[in-house]
Structure 1
């Protein structure tokens, strides 16, 4: 077990607490933002969560909110809440390197829809949080920005690719920070940092206005400390977006107000540490499995066998369908400059040169088989529980694990319980489940497509029981 060197975790006001105080005029938005900026200044030199901070812009926005409240106005459900923005999400006028030396010095000329909507709801962006290059790793380190560290133990990674956002929230620098999830990049950092990381049904959070991905694996979302905070953020940013053809209409009623009204008693719940084909660290399986058992008993659910075995072709399909997205970032880059990018990213580029129509067809067919397998599985159960990652947090500098439970694995080995639900588009969340290897570890709760509320409600129950010990 890794020894904890020092904990930088700070308990601060939640999203809901901050916003409600600001709306009532009991807390100035400028005070909330100033506190966040102070914590960033104190803690971030050690943790490396932020790659850009905009104190002037944040304080000016907070001043606008305070004036609105003073004049009897309502800034919105996120009033005055400091917001970290993953550097893969554009904010007009801010640096937009996406963790890559290839884009060092680039400035965004637009703002991502979810950031725009969060600001419209009263949120205050304070800066950009770190990502590995183009978000293509489950630890957060890049040649451009250096290493991001876990607030629970700086020797360890906060996960990736939304590692900067997770570190910022876990350390109390901000109560919420945006993230992306293409293979587990919200859920894995949430797991390693003791947070809530929710990947909604594909299209639940819009990805406009200039999302050009072709793999249809990536989901946008947020990292917070509570399920209610996540629900409030979702209520502010969900809804159809003309710039995203996959975006879904907003739910008829807010997630936040319905969390406690969802009936969980009698649900059929399945637990698997490995989806039938993925090695899982015994300590992780033991810790998370105990929480899964406790959850079933706590809600009066009925445990059933998962009878799942995700075929290896799903992993091949994921890699194949992901290649064009990375190729789009590397297309036209000289071979000399390619030497500067991370080897994993380079391998994507090399794979793109050999990618043919047959491989793409095979990838889409494997995805269709996975969707069918999960559709049949969710006829047997209502919720599927797994670890949010099969390994404890590893060294902050990387590399990704090459062995799990005595079995050799490739780059995707630590993602085997998360990426299938990116391929299929199912809603999934990680909630704290205890510790393993000197850092937090999460329970993943997966539901049927479009049953986001059920997944959030189940997560809220487990988060409350985890908090109470």
Structure 2
């Protein structure tokens, strides 16, 4: 990217670039934020990425950052970086509807740990990004907010459920925006919008306070344009949170420092477009396999056979584990309530759920965790498509057929949700295009191998 002149930061500047310019005093946070707000005003009407903007607080935070710089105080690694916040994540005083008409008037009375830590590191939240109702679809449309569109092609979806965040970053409105990933909801929008979307090891990024996490599948994270930006954000927010029982300690190093200090030669790398039984659009399979081969050749890694088959029963298990969480969100307004089709399917699953099905779901997840542990004895990284299909129409519905095979809701997420069940780190990085729209390569590692996954993603990014 070309450097800015005349005290400005160019549109499309990265998190790392923006923070460096603000910290040095070369550009003011107030100017960065003002420009961002102008871009949102110009671009948002066509995309519907943001559903709420807080100009007053954003400019107040920016002025505070500028005052720190003037005093010689470092405002933090995210200094002056504008940020979108997915509407499933609370910010005190902001709307907290979760994409649902049930909560259309609700205002958050607390700020989630993720956002609070980002602000402490200098980030400037400017507003709420759109999500489908309760984040339960891989396209972003709701009765409350309407349809969110992909900046690459506004006829297409930016994915879901972090679609508003992805659209905002891909359009250049903000350098980063938060997301949640319960079945692929960071990685899928990253794939469809040509971004970096990382789902860290379960518990590394805290989700408190008040996140119920009934299914133990949900991960918090961020969407950015570069792997370095994602690593910078991760270094600022990860670590133990007393409000999140699953939270893990931060490592004794910075992920950003490890990106280009990790030896990737002789890594054992496996590629599969299907995880054994997930149908994949042949165009997506071809693009991602070519990307995988390029990565292997350029790093000196070794391609090894794949010995993974994700049992189709895992989709049923995922539904059984997740359905009670959705039911808990809508039970106060169930009779006759109009719901997003995906939400309705979850509710119906919850209403039909019995103890045998719940026990079987836990047993199925345990078996998948064991299978992946055994499989990863044979390789260090597993590469797959980040999505099985290219971006589809913005209004939906989710795919019901892939490569000539019928799929249900979970079958359309079959290369992403298994790693929510296992809690392994997985990242989507841009791999190419199909029909003019981006598709991503997914890189998966063992649990706690987050630094390796990020380093591999950075190496691949450098080849593009």
Q: TM-score range by the shorter chain?
A: over 0.9
Deviation at 1:343, TM superposition (A): 2.4
- Give the equivalent residue in structure 2 for 1:414: 412
Query: Residue deviations 1:399-450, cap 9 Å, x none?
Result: 0011100111111222100000000000000000010132100000000000
Deviation at 1:332, TM superposition (A): 2.3
- Give the equivalent residue in structure 1 for 2:251: 251
- Give the equivalent residue in structure 2 for 1:278: 278
CA distance in 2, matches of 1:156, 1:373: 36
RMSD: 0.9
Q: Mark the runs of 5 or more structure 2 residues left unpaired by the alignment.
A: 1-9
- Give the equivalent residue in structure 1 for 2:130: 130
- Give the equivalent residue in structure 1 for 2:99: 99
Tell me the secondary structure at the aligned position of residue 270 of structure 2.
strand
Tell me if 1:391 matches 2:389: yes
Tell me the secondary structure at the aligned position of residue 111 of structure 1.
coil
CA distance in 1, matches of 2:262, 2:207: 28
Tell me the secondary structure at the aligned position of residue 332 of structure 1.
helix
- Give the equivalent residue in structure 2 for 1:156: 156
- Give the equivalent residue in structure 2 for 1:47: 47
Retained in 2: the 8 A contact 1:135–1:160? yes
- Give the equivalent residue in structure 2 for 1:4: none
Tell me if 1:424 matches 2:418: no
- 1:228-247 residue pairs with structure 2 within 5 A? 228-247=228-247
- 1:37-436 residue pairs with structure 2 within 5 A? 37-336=37-336, 338=337, 340-436=338-434
Query: Residue deviations 1:55-104, cap 9 Å, x none?
Result: 11101110011011101111100000000000000000000000000000
Tell me the secondary structure at the aligned position of residue 380 of structure 1.
coil
Query: Residue deviations 1:273-294, cap 9 Å, x none?
Result: 0001010001000011100000
CA distance in 2, matches of 1:278, 1:355: 25
Task: Name the CA shift for 1:448/1:334 in 2 (closer, same or farther; >3 Å).
Answer: closer
CA distance in 1, matches of 2:203, 2:374: 22
CA distance in 2, matches of 1:176, 1:350: 35
Tell me the secondary structure at the aligned position of residue 261 of structure 1.
coil
TM-score, length of structure 1 as denominator length: 0.96
Tell me the secondary structure at the aligned position of residue 448 of structure 2.
coil
Tell me the secondary structure at the aligned position of residue 369 of structure 2.
helix
- Give the equivalent residue in structure 2 for 1:7: none
CA distance in 2, matches of 1:35, 1:413: 42
CA distance in 2, matches of 1:321, 1:217: 9
Query: Residue deviations 1:314-361, cap 9 Å, x none?
Result: 11110110101101101222413x2x2212212222221221111110
Retained in 2: the 8 A contact 1:393–1:437? no
CA distance in 1, matches of 2:298, 2:37: 40
Retained in 2: the 8 A contact 1:206–1:239? yes
Deviates more, 1:407-416 or 1:61-70: 407-416
Query: Residue deviations 1:107-141, cap 9 Å, x none?
Result: 00000100000000000000000000000000000
Tell me the secondary structure at the aligned position of residue 369 of structure 1.
helix
Task: Name the CA shift for 1:332/1:394 in 2 (closer, same or farther; >3 Å).
Answer: same
Q: 2:453 aligns with which of 449, 452, 455?
A: 455
CA distance in 2, matches of 1:331, 1:428: 33
Deviation at 1:11, TM superposition (A): 5.2
Deviates more, 1:404-413 or 1:85-94: 404-413
Retained in 1: the 8 A contact 2:319–2:349? no
CA distance in 2, matches of 1:136, 1:211: 16
Aligned length: 455
Query: Residue deviations 1:237-257, cap 9 Å, x none?
Result: 000000001001001011011
Query: Residue deviations 1:222-267, cap 9 Å, x none?
Result: 0000000000000000000000010010010110111111110000
Retained in 1: the 8 A contact 2:264–2:300? yes
Name segments (4+ residues, structure 1) moved above 6 Å.
Answer: none
CA distance in 1, matches of 2:205, 2:34: 29
Deviates more, 1:85-94 or 1:403-412: 403-412
CA distance in 1, matches of 2:385, 2:334: 41
Retained in 2: the 8 A contact 1:401–1:413? no
